[in-house]
Amino acid sequence: MNILEKQPPTCYNLNMNVLISVGILILAMLIMAFLQITPGVFALSYHYAIGKYSKKKASRLMLFFIIGVEIITACVLLSVYYLISILCFGNFQPETSILTWIMIGILFAFSILSAFYYYRRGNSTKLYIPRKFARALDSSAKSIKTNSDAFVLGVISIACELLFILPLFIVSAIELMRLDLHSIPINLLAILLTLAPLFPLFIIHYKFQAGYNLANILKSRSKNKSFNRVILSLSYLIIAVLIICFKVNLQ
Amino acid sequence: MKEFNESEIIKDLKIDARGVGIPEGAAEIFINRTMKEAKKTLKNKSIITETDLKRVIVKELKKYHKDLAYVYQNRDTIV
């Protein structure tokens, strides 16, 4: 054996299909990062926690909120992935399945919904959720006392957003399943997908640490409402178009 | 219909003030002056809506601290 012979470097086989799948996953991450219930509840509970307790305790409570968000997101993604993989063991083929067309329809619907109905009318950052839910979230944020309260509030805030998250996770699970293990680090993509809702929370946390207050954060949220709407709507639309153009077998 | 509970409003305002970063002494002065003025404005009214009460408090708070007034005004419209 020639000892000078070197091992060939690991090279990823990036074909068009893989790039489209990765693109869909990145857009899904973008949407997850732009959804607004969790950052809203986080900012509110951080504000109340600072108002009631020491900075150290407030930071600890928010850490548990973040852990709650991360765990429920990972659990939902894994559950959806598991269900899709069970379907794939049968005769389910995403390219020809009716489920894919249903998902495309839902994605188009969400593209319209996020453009026109994600925020309520007016200058505030009121979201689409029923007012009873919003009031319950508000009073829960106000009454956080223990780490478990914060953890549960993180879980509930993601649960309130499930309507917008579930179709994304179904599409993402299908794409993750389609990706070739040797072509791209799938685990990394899945982890990034579950971490995506945490990005705005870290930004808010950083802002509070840097001396900003709830008023500053609310004003910036209110100012960027239209931008947020456009990003959400376009991302849903592009995912739907990419699936129609590259993933569905039209023959 | 709810009875006007001044201490509850003061408690909420104190939490908001601390959250916004106003020192405790200054917050106490702002809140006391605000409540005094609000009560003076609403002296002749036996019944008042929550929105009107909030509007009066916000109007007074704006004179002392705009961020605190903004947070108090928007506290139910964040999510």
Picking from A10, A23, A13, A25, the residue whose alpha carbon sits closest to that of residue A173 is A25
- At B75, the pLDDT band (50, 70, 90 cuts) reads confident
Picking from A144, A110, A107, the residue whose alpha carbon sits closest to that of residue A128 is A110
Nearest Cα residue in chain A from B18: A51
Tell me, what's the pLDDT at A178?
82
User: How close B64 comes to chain A (CA, Å)?
Assistant: 15
Picking from A199, A196, A139, the residue whose alpha carbon sits closest to that of residue A172 is A196
Q: Is A144 on the interface with B (CB under 8 A)?
A: no
> CA-CA distance, A202 to A132, in Å (whole number)?
27
> CA-CA distance, A243 to A105, in Å (whole number)?
11
User: How close A155 comes to chain B (CA, Å)?
Assistant: 16
Nearest Cα residue in chain B from A55: B19
Q: Is B15 on the interface with A (CB under 8 A)?
A: yes
Tell me, what's the pLDDT at B44?
80
> Among B16, B67, B74, whose Cβ lies nearest the Cβ of A51?
B16
> CA-CA distance, B37 to B43, in Å (whole number)?
10
Tell me, what's the pLDDT at A1?
47
Q: Could you tell me the two tokens for B15?
A: 């939490």
Cα atoms found within 13 Å of the Cα of residue A37, Cβ hemisphere only: 27
Q: Is B11 on the interface with A (CB under 8 A)?
A: no
User: How close B57 comes to chain A (CA, Å)?
Assistant: 17
> CA-CA distance, A79 to B11, in Å (whole number)?
43
SS3 of A119, please? strand
Residues A164 and A231: beta-carbon distance below 8 Å: no
Q: Is A226 on the interface with B (CB under 8 A)?
A: no
Q: Which residues touch B43 (CB under 8 Å, ≥6 apart)?
A: none
Picking from A135, A13, A58, A248, the residue whose alpha carbon sits closest to that of residue B77 is A135
For B16-67, write each residue's pLDDT tens digit. 999 999 999 999 999 999 999 998 888 888 888 888 889 999 999 999 999 9
Q: Is B17 on the interface with A (CB under 8 A)?
A: yes
How far from B74 is each of A102, A126, A220, CA to CA, in Å? 39, 10, 14
Nearest Cα residue in chain B from A160: B79
Contact B78 A213 (CB under 8 A): no
CA A142 to chain centre: 25
**Each residue's pLDDT tens digit in chain A (251 positions)?**
455 555 555 555 567 888 899 999 999 999 999 999 999 999 999 999 999 999 999 999 999 999 999 999 999 999 999 998 888 777 777 777 788 899 999 999 999 999 999 999 888 889 999 999 999 999 999 999 999 999 999 999 999 999 999 999 999 999 998 886 666 788 889 999 999 999 999 999 999 999 999 999 999 999 999 999 999 999 999 999 999 998 887 66
Residues of B in contact with A213 (CB under 8 A): 19-21, 67, 71
Interface probe with B: pick from A62, A118, A218, most Cβ of B within 10 Å: A218
Q: Is B19 on the interface with A (CB under 8 A)?
A: yes
Residues of B in contact with A135 (CB under 8 A): 76
Tell me, what's the pLDDT at A170?
94
Alpha helix (H) ranges present in chain A? 16-34, 37-52, 55-89, 98-116, 131-142, 147-160, 162-178, 186-195, 198-209, 214-223, 225-242
DSSP bridge partners of A127: A119
Predicted ipTM of the assembly: 0.91
Q: Is A153 on the interface with B (CB under 8 A)?
A: no
Residues A189 and A60: beta-carbon distance below 8 Å: no
Contact B20 A215 (CB under 8 A): yes
Nearest Cα residue in chain B from A49: B19
Q: Report the interhelical angle of B50-64 vs B6-20 (nearest 10°).
A: 40
Contact B67 A126 (CB under 8 A): no
Q: Is A156 on the interface with B (CB under 8 A)?
A: no
Residues B71 and A215: beta-carbon distance below 8 Å: yes
Tell me the helices (H) and strands (E) count for chain B, helix number first: 4, 0
